[in-house]
């Protein structure tokens, strides 16, 4: 099967639909509890990037039938070139697995990543799926592990949650910001995020946070263009007006029943006042009203982050799967894949 470079921005709609079928067949096979994706802003999700970043994609499509009908897309890979790393995402339709297509797609993306001058390549790998054996066989190393946890909103005890939302230390208050932080708070918000960057948690940062105000604005703009709606709860220290804490949840148009928790940060000087718990509890209340279709929230935590895991458990999050970051040196990977044909 031929692999060809593919531009989701200009691809025929039928190809976007065919790719969605492959993605959903992959979910059904590998992650049956996850919601299927829908074709809402999927083209934009696949094409929009931050300024300075590039995403290059390829597809493997079955040959056209005798009457000229396009064949289905059976494989897709994209590499996001950001900073000094290429981050890949690959999917092979379950009916076309174990035929060497995944390896061929990785070889294509790795060669290009090498030519573009990038030295390392990374991928998110979900525990308990074929991707673990696949990346291992290709010589990637496991570099980082997190736990994904899921909260079903139908299991939430809203009365207890209400108490948690109120349980914040004196001198702080919470603000709910649908769509992103208000412009007058962008700088304080970026400062709070920068502080977290100083804490080296060993994470590869496949989803890098935004530390300076302009990058933060760009990042919010990119999220909106990709159909991912951010909701933020801020904890403000009243005497200084500083952002003492923040929590971010994104509701993607592609799977609006399950939201993704992004960063949660409580500044070093503001720990011990119940801010983490109160912000997250308030967020769940707000989401219940703002997003009536939402039924679950998923979050990722380092296993060492005990404080946050405890709060998540109190809120009702249930550990679901291990989530790994795998990495490889691009030159070595290209060499290995070329050598193995």
Ligand X SMILES: CC(C)(COP(=O)(O)OP(=O)(O)OC[C@H]1O[C@@H](n2cnc3c(N)ncnc32)[C@H](O)[C@@H]1OP(=O)(O)O)[C@@H](O)C(=O)NCCC(=O)NCCS
Closest contact distance (angstroms) between CB of 98 and ligand X is: 5
Closest contact distance (angstroms) between CB of 263 and ligand X is: 23
Taking the least distance from each CB to ligand X, the nearer of 218 and 322 is: 322
Binding residues for ligand X, per CB under 6 A?
Answer: 23, 26-27, 30-31, 90-92, 97-103, 126, 129-131, 133-134, 137
Count Cβ atoms below 10 Å from residue 327 Cβ, excluding itself.
21
State the SS3 of the chain.
Answer: CCEEEECCCCCCHHHHHHHHHHHHHHHHHHCCCCCCCCCCCHHHHHHCCCCCCEEEEEEEECCCCCCCCCCCEEEEEEEEEECCEEEEEEEECHHHCCCCHHHHHHHHHHHHHHHCCCCEEEEEEECCCHHHHHHHHCCCEEEEEEEEEEEEHHHCCHHHHHHHHHCCCCCEEEEEEECCCCHHHHHHHHHHHHHHHCCCCCCCCCCCCCCCHHHHHHHHHHHHHCCEEEEEEEEEECCCCCEEEEEEEEEECCCCCEEEEEEEEECHHHCCCCHHHHHHHHHHHHHHHHCCCCCEEEEEEECCCHHHHHHHHHHCCEEEEEEEEEEEEHHHHHHHHHHCC
Closest contact distance (angstroms) between CB of 196 and ligand X is: 27
Closest contact distance (angstroms) between CB of 31 and ligand X is: 6
Closest contact distance (angstroms) between CB of 63 and ligand X is: 18
Taking the least distance from each CB to ligand X, the nearer of 36 and 194 is: 36
Taking the least distance from each CB to ligand X, the nearer of 14 and 28 is: 28
Taking the least distance from each CB to ligand X, the nearer of 27 and 118 is: 27
Closest contact distance (angstroms) between CB of 323 and ligand X is: 11
Taking the least distance from each CB to ligand X, the nearer of 139 and 221 is: 139
Taking the least distance from each CB to ligand X, the nearer of 149 and 219 is: 149
Closest contact distance (angstroms) between CB of 137 and ligand X is: 3
Count Cβ atoms below 10 Å from residue 184 Cβ, excluding itself.
8
Taking the least distance from each CB to ligand X, the nearer of 2 and 166 is: 2
């Amino acid at each position: 099967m031929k692999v060809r470079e593919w531009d989701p921005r200009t691809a025929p709609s039928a190809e976007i639909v065919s790719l969605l079928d492959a993605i959903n067949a992959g979910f059904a096979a590998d992650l049956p509890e996850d919601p299927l994706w829908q074709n809402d802003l999927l083209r934009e999700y696949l094409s929009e990037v931050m300024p300075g970043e590039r995403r290059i994609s390829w597809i493997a499509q079955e040959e056209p039938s005798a009457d000229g009908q396009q064949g289905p897309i059976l494989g897709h890979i994209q590499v996001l070139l950001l900073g000094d790393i290429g981050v890949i995402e690959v999917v092979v339709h379950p009916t076309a697995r174990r035929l060497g297509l995944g390896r061929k797609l990785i070889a294509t993306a790795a060669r290009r990543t090498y030519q573009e001058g990038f030295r390392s390549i990374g991928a998110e790998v979900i525990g308990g799926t074929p991707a673990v054996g696949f990346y291992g066989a290709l010589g990637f190393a496991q570099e980082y592990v997190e736990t994904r946890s899921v909260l079903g909103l139908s299991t939430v005890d809203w009365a207890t949650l209400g108490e948690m939302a109120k349980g914040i230390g004196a001198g702080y208050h919470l603000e709910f910001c649908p769509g992103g932080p208000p412009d007058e708070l962008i700088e304080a918000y970026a400062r709070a995020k920068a502080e977290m960057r100083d804490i080296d948690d060993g994470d590869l940062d496949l989803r890098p946070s935004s530390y300076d105000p302009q990058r933060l604005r760009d990042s919010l703009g990119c999220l909106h263009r990709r159909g991912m709606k951010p909701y933020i709860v801020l904890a403000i220290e009243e005497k200084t007006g500083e952002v003492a804490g923040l929590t971010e949840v994104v509701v993607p148009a592609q799977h609006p029943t399950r939201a993704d928790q992004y960063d949660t940060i409580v500044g070093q000087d503001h720990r011990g006042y119940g801010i983490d718990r109160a912000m997250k509890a308030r967020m769940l209340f707000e989401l219940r009203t703002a997003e009536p279709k939402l039924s679950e929230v998923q979050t990722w935590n380092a296993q060492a982050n005990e404080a946050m895991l405890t709060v998540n458990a109190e809120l009702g999050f249930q550990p679901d799967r291990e989530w790994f970051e795998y990495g490889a040196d691009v030159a070595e990977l290209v060499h290995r894949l070329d050598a193995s044909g």
